[in-house]
Amino acid sequence: TDTKEWKDFDKLKLYMDDLESGLHYLLRVELATHKTLEGAQLKTFKDVVTVLAKLFPGSQPVMKLLETLQVWVVSFPLDKIPYDAVLDLLNNKMRISGLHLPSHIRWVSCQGSRPELRGYPCSFWELFHTLSVQAALQPKALLHTGLGDGAPVVLQTMRRYIQDFFGCRACAQHFEQMAKESLHLVETPDGAILWLWEKHNIVNARLAGDLSEDPKFPKLQWPTPEICPECHEEIKGLHTWNKAEVLRFLKHHYSPDNLVFASPE
């Protein structure tokens, strides 16, 4: 990993460096711990690649790479894929056609004040929220993919990814517990965005003050009043969320329009 100087960033923006670094880590590091993809895990991998190919708000070369990967994975003739074949496709075969996913890590909004803090799990949340917002912005994107068209398709697919591959096993267990309790209640794409936001805040509350917390990035209920005053209300002295405003904020924050493509110096 690179140890670079601190990069200043805007809390109100989303950075492509974080999303691409997360994607790089997911495809080249996390998946690499599985030598062979088969059975239910292979199905999960195919579905995640499909969701990414249809909904990741990437640059053209990255989207072409994801689409090429999706066609290759979905039409793979055997019921097992050696991980090395995925890596060879990503690193060598696609390069020849000019398709490229950066193979370095460059955290911006996911920088940690120490190397073991933040980084990949932070980018995974950002990717997950972005995909949930993209699904609402492009309700037809997953039609004809065989993934079904119910509102929580993205949530269900990423839930399976977390369950099958996410490196932090305690995280996967906690997440699965929340999904079991209430994911079936999600009915609309907007409901899916809010479900994920709410669960992420439950995780934030649980982890506040934990050893894993970066002192420079305390675990707060998000969005804070500082970045979204209208998301917060007080009714009879009690704090409540204005969910219509939260939804509006999430749809803006995690939209392609809010993505910064250039790396900050």
Identify the H or E element spanning 36: strand 36-38
Q: Does 9 bind ligand FAD (CB under 6 A)?
A: no
User: What is the C-alpha to C-alpha distance for residues 8 and 5, in angstroms, rounded to an integer?
Assistant: 10
CA distances from 120 to 51, 76, 198 (A): 19, 29, 20
Nearest to 167 by CA among 123, 231, 114: 123
Residue closer to ligand FAD (CB basis): 48 or 94: 48
Q: Does 207 bind ligand FAD (CB under 6 A)?
A: yes
Residue 23: other Cβ atoms inside 10 A: 21
Q: Does 45 bind ligand FAD (CB under 6 A)?
A: no
Residue 82 CA, distance from chain mean position = 24
| Bridge partners, residue 15, by sequence | 260
The one among 5, 6, 96, 170 contacting ligand FAD by CB under 6 A:
170
Tokens matching residue 259: 């993505």
How many amino acids of this chain bind ligand FAD (CB under 6 A)?
25
Q: Does 200 bind ligand FAD (CB under 6 A)?
A: yes
Q: Does 171 bind ligand FAD (CB under 6 A)?
A: yes
* Residues numbered 120-159 forming contacts with ligand FAD, rule: CB under 6 A: 121-122, 124-126, 129
Q: Does 175 bind ligand FAD (CB under 6 A)?
A: yes
Report, in Å, the least distance between residue 20 CB and ligand FAD. 16
Helices then strands, counting H and E runs in the chain, come out as 10, 6
Q: Does 195 bind ligand FAD (CB under 6 A)?
A: no
Nearest to 46 by CA among 28, 61, 64, 66: 66
Q: Does 260 bind ligand FAD (CB under 6 A)?
A: no
Q: Does 245 bind ligand FAD (CB under 6 A)?
A: no
Q: Does 247 bind ligand FAD (CB under 6 A)?
A: no
Q: Would you tell me the crossing angle of helices 189-207 and 169-182 to the nearest 10 degrees?
A: 130
Report, in Å, the least distance between residue 257 CB and ligand FAD. 17
User: What is the C-alpha to C-alpha distance for residues 121 and 167, in angstroms, rounded to an integer?
Assistant: 9
Q: Does 83 bind ligand FAD (CB under 6 A)?
A: no
Q: Which residues bind ligand FAD (CB under 6 A)?
A: 110, 118, 121-122, 124-126, 129, 162, 168, 170-171, 174-175, 197, 200-201, 203-204, 207, 210, 212, 214, 217, 222
